Amino acid sequence: MVRLSALVCAQNQDAQLSECLRKLAFCDEIVVVADRCTDRSQEIARRHGAVVIDGIFPLESQRKAAGVAACSGDWILEVEPDEIVDAALAWEIRAVLQIHKAGDWYDLPIDNYIGEALVRDGWTGDLSARREARLYRRGLKAWEPRRVNAPSALAGRPGGALKGAIRRRLGADVGGLVDRLNRLAALRAEDLADSQEAGGPALVGLFQAVGVFLAAYVVHGGWREGRLGFLSASLAAMLPVLSQTLAGEIAEARRAAVEAGARTAQPRAVVGLAGR
């Protein structure tokens, strides 16, 4: 029998976590990484029989790596707290692992919902994605050190995509999608500031925004989704602009803090010399 571990990384998402974990009962093990959670996430996870890793993980790559290290399964299924694995997909996953293993990792389609409305097309991977590599043998996936949307690399043979889809709820309404945009922009801005790519928000962000909108609305078929497709493409296009602007503010604040520290440190050194 192939042992399957489900990995869920949570950050104060107890309102969504219970339903997510309940749908993962088909797995042999559930591991929940509770990153700086001050809500009931740990309590809910333990109530569902999950192994809980409680700690401070500033980077998404750190959360994922800590979770994988705690998993004991042969295979790992990654699920976010705002996602649901329905019975049909659960059965397909088990069947693939027990009977039809054709690769070392698999893509899982993602059905994105805004409220109760399914928005199939127009996603670029910024606000969400249409499919991701979420099912893989333990030890084959690694992430770059980022706070959000950390790129990953997989070793081994790809097995293709499953037919069933993960159900992701991006928000109870459009306001929830806007909240998601603000959260992603803040985290991405810190990554940009760390990498010293915070300059020129007006120019760099604008060019990126145009490219993201065209990719989401035209290339990825957001136009098929009507008003919601236009809205999601527009919000995705705002992400690089907001991120670059916030990154510039963060970088400036860091420079000001360093300069202030240098100014306060210098008089102390002079006084010390005078005392001698």
- In order, the DSSP letters of 2-30 are --EEEEEEESS-HHHHHHHHHTTTTSSEE
Strands (E), the chain: 4-10, 29-35, 51-55, 75-78, 83-84, 105-114, 117-119, 131-137, 141-143, 152-154, 158-161, 166-171
Structure tokens at 96: 């693939």
What is the set of domains in the chain, with CATH numbers? 4-170 (3.90.550.10), 173-265 (no CATH)
Per-residue pLDDT of the chain (276 residues; tens, 9 = 90+): 899 999 999 999 998 999 999 999 999 999 999 999 999 999 999 999 999 999 999 999 999 999 999 999 999 999 999 999 999 999 999 999 988 778 999 999 999 999 999 999 998 878 899 999 999 999 999 999 999 988 999 999 999 999 999 999 998 889 999 999 999 999 999 998 888 765 555 566 678 889 999 999 999 999 999 999 999 999 999 998 898 888 888 888 888 888 787 777 665 544 443 443
Q: What is the token pair recorded at 52?
A: 């809980």
pTM of the model: 0.88
CB-CB neighbours of 3 under 10 Å: 14
Residue 256 is predicted with a pLDDT of 86
Residue 113's DSSP bridge partners are 118, 169
Q: Tokens for 213?
A: 């909108």
The pair of three-digit structure tokens given for residue 101, joined into one six-digit string: 């293993």
Which amino acid would we find at residue 243?
Answer: S
Largest CA distance in the chain: 80
